[in-house]
Amino acid sequence: MHLNEKTITEAIIKRYTEKLLDSLKCDVAIVGGGPSGLVAAAELAGAGWKTCLFERKLSIGGGMWGGGMMMNEIVVQEEGKEILDEYDVQTRSFSKGYYTADSVEAVSTICSKTVKAGVRIFNLISVEDILLRDKEAAGIVINWTAVEMASLHVDPLTIESKFIIDTTGHAAEVIRVIEKKDDARLMTPSGKIEGERSLWADRAEQTTLENTREVFPRVYVAGMCANAVFGSYRMGPIFGGMLLSGKKVASLIGERLAGE
């Protein structure tokens, strides 16, 4: 067969456009493709909800690739291991209650399950704002990361969604925009972002789950972002809390969607 470049180009443009057009209105828009965002997305799509995930970078996986200090192994506790088992990621027992996994296997396997669950993943797109309807969020505002990086004055496009999950990690980018622009009282003790505290793995892993919840009408936080917004600790390279938080937020939003 004689290969034709025009057909190759057409195939990419058409397929991508189909995917994007089909995502202009979704049940859940997830911002950030780290471990918490990926698990939340896989669980929601697995439950039948139309789920889209937007990731600024070329690669999906956030901070999990690098393990701890670029040593590409992650640690999980018993509850985290159960999720890795479910996602077919191999773990090795290190000592009682501590397990390790190869971070490259963990990211690539979870990412593959997420795509196969039906999540539409858009990499190289940054979320720069939300859609606001009165006092609730109604979607997200997106632009190419390349536009953001080059500081070009190019207007964005929008995605409507019933719920948004901020899984942007330490930066808590979506919530920061809401706090700054919308003069919002967040559902935190002070009504503002409380800010992340120093490293305390044990306490941080517990509070990640407690802090996984709604923080502005129709916007939830999960993963490291939950602790940054609610003023809790960082945990270092233990990833069970991230995976569990992804599951929890999916179940909270799944219940809301089922009730609407």
Binding site for ligand 48H (CB under 6 A): 31-37, 54-57, 62-64, 126-127, 167-169, 171, 173, 199, 223-225, 234-236, 239, 242
Question: Which of 36/188 has CB closer to ligand 48H?
Answer: 36
Please tell me what DSSP assigns to residue 10. H
Sign of CA dihedral 89, 92, 97, 103: negative
Pick 57 or 192: Cβ nearer ligand 48H: 57
Question: How far is Cα of residue 12 from the mean position of the Cα atoms in its chain?
Answer: 25
- Calculate the alpha carbon distances from 133 to 70, 136, 157, 168 in Å: 42, 5, 16, 23
CB of 140 to ligand 48H, least distance (A): 9
CB 139 within 8 A of CB 158: yes
The residue written with tokens 């207007």 in the block is: 155
- Mind giving me the DSSP string for 162-197? EEEEE--GGG-HHHHHHHHHS----SSTTSS----E
Q: What's the token pair of residue 213?
A: 């919840």
- 109 phi/psi in degrees, rounded to 5: -70, -45
Nearer to ligand 48H, 127 or 134 (CB): 127
Nearest CB to ligand 48H, comparing residues 3 and 148? 148
CB of 66 to ligand 48H, least distance (A): 8
Whether 216 and 208 have beta carbons less than 8 Å apart is answered as no
What's the chain's length in residues? 260
Residue 69 burial by Cβ neighbours in a 10 Å radius (0-12, 13-18, 19+): exposed
Minimum gap (Å) between residue 112 Cβ and ligand 48H: 17
Give whichever of 43 and 55 is closer to ligand 48H, judged by the CB atom: 55
- What token pair was written down for 160? 């409507």
Minimum CB distance to ligand 48H, residue 118 (Å): 20
Return the number of the residue (35 or 254) whose C-beta is nearest ligand 48H: 35
Cβ proximity to ligand 48H: between 145 and 192 the closer is 145
- In angstroms, what is the minimal distance from the CB of 227 to ligand 48H? 9
Question: Least CB distance from residue 225 to ligand 48H, whole Å?
Answer: 6
CB of residue 101 vs ligand 48H: minimum separation in angstroms? 14
